[in-house]
Chains A and B, each alone.
Chain A
């Protein structure tokens, strides 16, 4: 079966005064129909740039997609005109952002902001679209949706705002939902509610989801498959169970080891030595090699290729070369 979204060798650079930031330097992954793909990695590793690249919303200048392709239902999004891309945004691919507090326009009523998305694609009169918004608000469990649609963002709590964002994203039954750190800005108690809401809606609507998070716990409970990013590259991907139980890449192993466990008495937190490399001048070869406990000579000069070590489990690391 053909995947819904197939990203191949995607590279997005930002041309700044300090130099070229290679935010993405050739990443490849795919998402199947009805699948939730988790994208994990530290802050600054290129997760959000991946999302905005797919949406075609890289601010240009300074950003530019320099190579690769993004095949959505077999069509390369990078070859589309702005006009054609606009018809896909919000309708076929919708997005939920990290901070609901800043993602809603403060001077427009929240219901209108949802209705507007429907209007943009179906040309439904706003009055009718508002009725649809009420319905959607009910669907995402916003209490008293009739009143809520007429509220302004500052009159709603963070969790409610994120529900509005979800209602907005789902308003046109998108095939693909990109959720960029959808719970990071929320209280822990609200996080679980929002995540289960996304999961239920994903199941009911049959949408695919690209779930971006730095939170391994979130990814492990939500995703079917997971891709681990490090410094603008994907270093390992596979099914959630396999990857979390037996991580292959030393970076993934470090990430999982760094989660403090409540059932163990620990005096010291595990850390990955070193810091994220400078994205303007990343290390040659495998970008992780300066921090890698297994680093070999070849790691310093040549970037490792992906290799399927187990079924549905690939890693880019020379330690698994044979």
Chain B
């Protein structure tokens, strides 16, 4: 297992190199000049040229790429927009994003698995119809709309929760629900179908024939087998939350990395975009590694050595 983890961590290197090259090229091939944006509308051609030299934007592309790599390692990477070290721009944002993503995945897993199990166990009952309908709604509701609805109810009318910004746990509730909703739907649907599949297996009949209470049959015998496909989905959803929470972050003015990336793309803040993308890609790979490790704990047939 340890060997497997090390091997996967080594594989992370080519992934990150690939991501860095693609991110670098896409940004530099896109139209728009950070020097012009930074200098402002009234700047003279000389001012712009000076800025270009200052940030090394006048150098050939591959030299710029290596300068970026060098900056990553020695911390000399500077945000063009904020004119401060890129690390101190990105790192607090990453922690904010992690905080939101963790809270959201907890919401999504709790709601999704419970709804999925209930659906599968009471197939074609009112509970099942309700939960599958809710899951479909959850998956299809646009985040910005759902976010605004919740703000209207809980912040404007009931005044229970803040409508945005960051602070204590209270600030986390609404964004976590909004970001977790579609994942809860996806997880519920996955859990339902895999539970239904597992409940048909012979070993479930064996478990019942032993005289086990149905609670044990469902949670010990069926759920653990049904969790394997669910865990895959949870991992993917968590990955998306790390990278793609822009809408939720915007609706709730949550200073996360998704918004940072979008803002930095607008400002052509190359170093910040590239470094953030690398970080997010790395996290995504790590989450998937975590999922693979979890498989081995859930299913003794899965061994990596």
Binding site for B on A (CB under 8 A): 52, 55, 57, 86-91, 94-95, 97, 99, 102-108, 113, 116-117, 120-121, 152, 154, 165, 168
Contacts and interface: CB of A to CB of B under 8 A. Distances in A.
Interface of B: 201-203, 205-213, 216, 220-221, 224-225, 298-301
Contacts of B225: 105-107
A108 B216 CA distance: 13
Contacts of A95: 206, 209
Nearest to A168: B210
A120 B300 CA distance: 24
A105 B203 contact: yes
Nearest to B207: A105
B70 to A, nearest CB: 49
B211 A152 contact: no
A89 B201 contact: no
4 tightest Cβ-Cβ pairs between the two chains A and B: A90-B211, A89-B211, A90-B210, A102-B202
Given A106-B299, A108-B221, A55 B206 contact: no
B203 A120 contact: no
29 contacts: A57-B205, A57-B209, A86-B213, A88-B211, A90-B209, A90-B211, A90-B212, A97-B202, A97-B205, A97-B206, A97-B209, A102-B201, A102-B203, A103-B206, A105-B203, A105-B221, A106-B300, A107-B224, A107-B301, A113-B206, A116-B216, A117-B210, A117-B211, A120-B211, A120-B212, A121-B211, A152-B301, A168-B206, A168-B210
Contacts of B208: 57, 89
A54 to B, nearest CB: 11
Contacts of B203: 102-106
For A55, A103, A168, the residue with the greatest tally of chain B CB atoms inside 10 Å of its CB is A103
A162 to B, nearest CB: 12
Contact of B211 (A87, A107, A154): A87
Contact of A105 (B206, B211, B298): B206
Nearest to B213: A86
Given A97-B202, A97-B205, A102-B202, A107 B299 contact: yes
Given A103-B206, A120-B216, A168-B210, 4 more contacts: A88-B211, A94-B209, A104-B203, A116-B210
Given A102-B203, A108-B221, A55 B301 contact: no
